[in-house]
Amino acid sequence: MKSGLFMFTTPHTVTPATLACKAEELGFESFWLPEHPVVPVHYQTHSSWTADGKIPEHFTYMPDPVIGLASAAAVTKKIKLATGICLIPERNPILLAKEVATLDHYSGGRVILGAGAGWLREEAEILGTDFSSRWQRLRESVQAMRELWTKEEAEFHGQLVDFPPVRCLPHPTQKPYPPVLLGTYAYDEQSLRRVAQWADGWCPPASSPQQLTTALGTLTRLTEAAGRDPSKLDITVLLGITEESPCADLIKQYEDVGAQRVVLMLGRGEAHASVSPHFFMPGEAEATLERLAEKSVTRVG
């Protein structure tokens, strides 16, 4: 069972490089960083992260995940470098393809691209995305990036993403390209159909082992209907925990029902909402991560 570590960082906390280096030392398989490029001052969208629906203050300070992972790549050798998740519809797909390929090239093929459509309407609109068509833009962007990652001269002509033949190098080290795992909050059939049709895997937040069992049954059916092999999908669960959580037992339950990787989100319980994430301040990370690894990596990883 692969154990990953998901962390929020800000300019005031321990750096991604420091956390990734320690996580690799302790045996974590992957290191995940989230993304929110901007936080609108005025918004109507309700946030599920807080009881009152307000966007948490730390979202304002969230560093760019690709740059954060690049800093982590420079001080590590084998830990996977993952976005959790990258809001692809809010980005230019050609520029993102270049950034991801460059990171994968210089890290020796360690990138996992966790991808999502986003939930904050005002953020998407500020960045030029029609919120109602964000899922289509996400799919077309991924398709276009795969063309750029695998061809010397690539072009793409979709309804929302369109460009003539271009050369965009270097290509990623991973062949044919870094895995793209679709992140969705929902376990509904529509979300699972998207995974089945075009993603390399699925990385939802944990709900319960029982709900994951049901969802994976649906995902298998939909993937086979799409003419793809469900055994090739990467199933990753983002699991909110506290230091008191029985990590090993819970991770084993998710492994038993079909998860291949559990990514620990320290500071948040399974209930998801209204629980603050943990922020590692300078001088704090080493002991806390060692305790966490004892309950997750050492016993289960």
What are the tens digits of pLDDT across the range 222-252?
999 999 999 999 999 999 888 777 678 889 9
User: Does the pLDDT at position 89 exceed 60?
Assistant: yes
User: Does the pLDDT at position 299 exceed 60?
Assistant: no
> What's the pLDDT score for residue 294?
86
Q: How many domains does the chain have?
A: 1
Give 281's contacts (C-beta < 8 A, 6+ positions apart).
Answer: 12, 13, 14
- Written as six digits, the tokens of 190 are 């529509």
Characterize the bridge pairing of strands 154-157 and 162-166.
Answer: antiparallel
Instruction: Please tell me the pTM assigned to this model.
Output: 0.94
* DSSP symbols for 98-148: HHHHHHHHHHTS-EEEEEE--S-HHHHHHTT--GGGHHHHHHHHHHHHHHH
**What is d(CA 271, CA 253) in angstroms, rounded to the nearest whole number?**
17
Range of the domain at 254: 2-300
Nearest Cα neighbor of 171 from 117, 121, 103 is 103
pLDDT-based confidence at 273, cuts 50/70/90? very low
Q: What is the mean pLDDT of the chain?
A: 93
Cα Rg for the chain, rounded, in angstroms?
Answer: 18
Q: Where do we find the tokens 């060692």?
A: 290
Domain with 68 in it: what CATH number?
3.20.20.30
- Written as six digits, the tokens of 93 are 């797909």
- Among 38-52, 128-142, 162-176, 218-232, which stretch is predicted with the lowest mean pLDDT? 38-52
> What's the pLDDT score for residue 301?
43
Question: What is the percent of the chain with per-residue pLDDT over 70, rounded to a whole number?
Answer: 95
Q: Is the peptide bond before 85 cis (omega within 30 degrees of 0)?
A: yes
16-35 pLDDT, tens per residue? 999 999 999 999 999 999 99
The number of CA neighbours under 13 Å toward the Cβ of 239 is 31
User: 110 vs 269, which has greater pLDDT?
Assistant: 110
Burial string for 158-178 (b: 16+ CB within 10 Å, else e) reads eebbebeeeebeebbbbeebb
- Among 9-18, 96-105, 190-199, which stretch is predicted with the lowest mean pLDDT? 9-18
For 45, 69, 82, 162, the CA distances from 4, given in Å and listed in that order, are 30, 14, 9, 35
User: Does the pLDDT at position 81 exceed 60?
Assistant: yes
- Written as six digits, the tokens of 199 are 């993603």
Q: At what angle do helices 65-73 and 16-26 cross, to 10 degrees?
A: 50
